[in-house]
Chain A
Amino acid sequence: MNYTEMLNALGHEEFFGVLAGASTSEIVVYARNQDTSIGDLFLVPSDRGGERVYLFRMTQYANVLRREEDMDPMAKNLLSMDDPFYADDFQSDQLLRLSGSLLGYSELNDAGRWVFRAPRKLPAHLSKVYKVGFGDTASIARQEECLKELLATQLGEGVFIGHLLAGERALKGVPVSIPGEFFAHHIGVFGRTGTGKSNNLMVLIESLYANNRRLNATPRNEWGSKDRLVSLFAVDPHDEFAKWKPNSRGGINRIIGAMTAAEKKELVEPFFYLSCRNEATIQSDPAIGNLGRRVRLHRRDIAPEDIISIMEFSDIMSSAAETIGDEFGEGWISAVLNGDVQPDDNLIHKASLAGLNRRLGFLAGNRSSLVPNKATYESSLADIVLALERGRVLDVDTSLMTEIEQFLLTTVVARTLFALRKALKSARDMTAFIGNGEQPGEIDRHLPMQESLKAILKERLLAERSPYLGQQGHLISINDLPAINIIVEEAPSILNPARLKFGSVFRDISRQGRKFGLGLTVVSQQVTEIDDGILSQINTEITLALGNEDERQAAVHTASNDIFPFKRELQVMGTGQAILSASYKSVPLPVQVPEFK
């Protein structure tokens, strides 16, 4: 659509208002007395200095009269005088005064494609202003089509997040997406309870499956530059993603049910569901069947830094744990809990050892359903890691886990994947990655303790269908592996400044994860409680309604785009409504996440 076609599509005389004032800080429009709402989007074509279409978002509006300054006396007259009336010209005097901010403008590039730019220019005086969502169904469809084309570079392609929100209306014709590549970066999801985070995540899961199905069916050389398979480690505290809500048509099971056998094999198998429920119960659940597994870790999977990342540790205790780890290797937890560690006067003080013992108490005996005390190595970790490296969405039911177990699982999985990706990047071939009898491999260097896990991984990474081996048997590049995104639920518990002070696996992942294709999705009700270092590494924010002024202020401060004009709305946004901001977008986009049905 060129500029003239755009004007025709908008319907020249179907304008909603006229630009009265435009400055770099505020746009003022006088508009027809028609229904509108805060957050509505308006298109302002203007050919001053080039054919452009500006996008204006209304944040305030007021009822005004064309030729009367003050309506107070009228209201008083109406209330207190005898038989007051309006003459019939009152209606034509009623106008709206809209004000808000200019989000930017689009202009055609040399290739004839509309490119959206930050608002460095203003539309001409008295330009006509078109509302998106004004008029009959056909007009609205045309307006949405225009908007979609104008914002094409901003709406993104890949993983659908929601529909562009204009006021109270979700524009069904204008989907907003995050390209798969950016799931290797870090995402912040901030919103108070009841804002629809679970539904948003369910929609995201469905979109990730759709993304992966689309790419699976498309030859690699036809993928877009930002296309990437995405794996998700989705913590599911309410055990709802697999089957979704009672009386619903289903959750992941329904999505998978619509797949062909080949797609299931490529995108789902051998499992998508992990739970602490016993294996028989899972297998007997018809909605999950043989695509569910009991999740368990072994003490040998856990490194000292995992525990330090999720619990309160002093500097001295951290040193003691690391020293014990160095001495006892993957058996360090058993050594501590069995009393095999002897305190000394150097690094393992008696008090530190006692403290460490107390902190590991949740793993003693068979207290933990996630980490049962087994002599033989039985763990889901290798399966989880390999599934994520194959582009899988894993629904991890944590409803039967304690909070600390949930954090531990997330931490161990994240650290192990991070180490594997670093090893992969360091190695030039599979031998260098795995090592041989004489030389340790990169995997040994980056995963220095987990011998049991490594033994399994080495074997399976060499086997047929290894995610790390290309078609010619060469070691695959990280860029060709799926982006792996790990959801960190209740993030303030493990990503707060105090916890990150003495070292945390998440500090390293937040700083370096994206170059290894590993992203975190930080989910929190509070922005203020998250460590500044972590926040500074987040470059996609999905901000839902926030409870108090401090949190809204922090969200505005943290966002990758200027979302200050949305600040007031952060207080009143409805369920599923969010502001999507990202460093790779020129403009923050309000979105309505649809209800997962």
Chain B
Amino acid sequence: MDFDFLDRKLLDVTRDAVVSFKNAIEGARPDDKELKALCAGIKSYPHTKALPSEFSVAAVDGSGEYPVLQQDDIFLHFVIAAGAIYTTASHRQHKLSSVEPVNPIFKQFVLLSDDMARTQSSYQEYLTALTGLSLKDLATGSDYCEMSGRYGKPIRHADVRWKKVTMSKASQIATHAYLLRTVAELGMAIRMLMHKPRYLLLDTSLVYFMLGETLFLPELLKRYLITQANAQSTGVVALCKSHNIPNGDLIGRMAKDNFGYKDHWYLRLPSDALGEPIPAFLDGREIPPKLSVSYLFKFHATTFPLRIDVDADWWKSAIGGDEAREKQFFADLDFTCHEVRSFGYPYPMHAAHRSASLTKQERKALKDILVQHAQREGLMRGAVASDPEQLHMGGM
């Protein structure tokens, strides 16, 4: 970038931007009364060394290279999703036992192009390979259409078709990267239901921004997952590392200052799904998301407060406002956070992340293999450039 750091105009603009940022944060700050009322709900739960009843807990995570090859308007993406499933063994030395000797992994190349018919066809194949399900299966096996009607225009089962699925052009790479990865994670989560875990952990939130507006594949999958999970009493726990709660740190500070809880505390946020009024500072932010109950909580002193979203129906049946059950829920999750490799964070999530993530060397190896094939097939060198700009700047 060509600019003068001493340019008065630039300095003024920079200061203004920072002031705006500060104002935005302060503008979202709950007033003291609201904050006090909210924080009255902070509760603690015990550091958990043993469990009253053992359970299994699954987690999924996704990764990939988006895209791994590209030329003109053709994009080849590489998608990975991994699951991990453990049973607790609180009276044994290792505390968590693997259910599967090797974590299940899904790997798939997905070819997208700006030709929408081709892209839809690719997504169709991708969904089938991942879940063995069709859009129709997802619609009939979930409450998606019903819920869509609750929050906006209703969608008929017959309208759940590929042509109706909201999808951007393939050249909008970031959108498809999110879409492919989210679908992969949810698809793997659906697969993990077969183990009937008590909890199924997702590295995401349960937000439904498009629900009632348009048919969005991740939300359809999410509702299918939750409907199926609820049917077998599996709690889908979406764990958000960024809680996105305005001034959420203030709540953490109050937990410490007012209640003396440096960790092992939780706060359930008022939920629209439970018919509760939403505090003004959270209004319009989808916190908690539609159909969900959210908690802000802290597992351990060395970690930041996190947020979890659970489905409201599951919450009603599994917790239902019972403080003892609520505490046991957090105690159960806390138990999984004491593995040395990820102390303060649920180990099944760590294990799934580890299985899914591509190391630097693996990315390089994947690229090398693709380059070899590309050369053999006569593809241009530019096809394996990670970034079109790199290609233009570096030349052919």
Contact = CB atoms under 8 A, between A and B. Distances in A.
Interface residues of B, number: 19
Contacts of B95: 85, 87
A118 B338 CA distance: 51
B338 A84 contact: yes
B127 to A, nearest CB: 29
Interface string B70-97: 0000000000000000100000011111
B107 interface: no
Interface string A82-116: 11111111100000000000000000000000000
A67 B338 contact: no
Contact of A87 (B47, B49, B347, B355): B347
A86 B339 contact: yes
A90 B94 contact: yes
A67 B338 CA distance: 18
A68 B322 CA distance: 39
B293 interface: no
A377 B89 CA distance: 93
A455 interface: no
Contacts of B339: 84-87
A82 B341 contact: no
A77 interface: yes
B47 A67 contact: no
B354 A74 contact: no
A91 to B, nearest CB: 9
B94 A82 contact: no
Interface in A36-78: 65, 67-68, 73-74, 77-78
A81 interface: yes
Contacts of A74: 340-341
Contacts of B300: 81
Contact of A85 (B93, B98, B351, B355): B93
Given A68-B341, A74-B340, A77-B340, A83 B49 contact: yes
A67 B86 CA distance: 18
Given A67-B354, A68-B354, A90-B94, A85 B341 contact: no
A87 B95 CA distance: 6
A83 B340 CA distance: 9
Interface in B81-129: 86, 93-98
Interface string A246-280: 00000000000000000000000000000000000
B94 A85 contact: yes
B372 to A, nearest CB: 14
A81 B303 CA distance: 13
Interface residues of A, number: 17
Q: Which of A74, A77, A78 has the most CB of B within 10 A?
A: A77
A75 to B, nearest CB: 8
A62 to B, nearest CB: 17
B329 interface: no
Interface in B323-356: 338-341, 343, 347, 351, 354-355
A68 B341 CA distance: 8
A86 B94 contact: yes
A82 B354 contact: no
Contacts of A65: 341
Nearest to B353: A67
B94 A87 contact: yes
B338 A85 contact: yes
Given A67-B354, A68-B354, A83-B47, A88 B96 contact: yes
A56 to B, nearest CB: 22
Contacts of A85: 93-96, 338-340
A101 B106 CA distance: 39
A88 B98 contact: yes
A87 B86 contact: yes
A73 B347 CA distance: 14
Contacts of A73: 343
A88 B97 CA distance: 5
A87 B97 CA distance: 6
Contacts of A90: 94, 340-341
Contacts of A83: 47, 49, 338
A115 to B, nearest CB: 35
A87 B98 contact: yes
Contacts of B94: 85-88, 90
Nearest to A83: B49
Q: Which of A68, A74, A89 has the most CB of B within 10 A?
A: A89
Nearest to A68: B341
A461 B47 CA distance: 96
A84 B95 CA distance: 9
Please provide the 4 A-B residue pairs with the shortest distance between their CB atoms, ordered closest to farther.
Answer: A87-B96, A77-B343, A85-B95, A88-B94
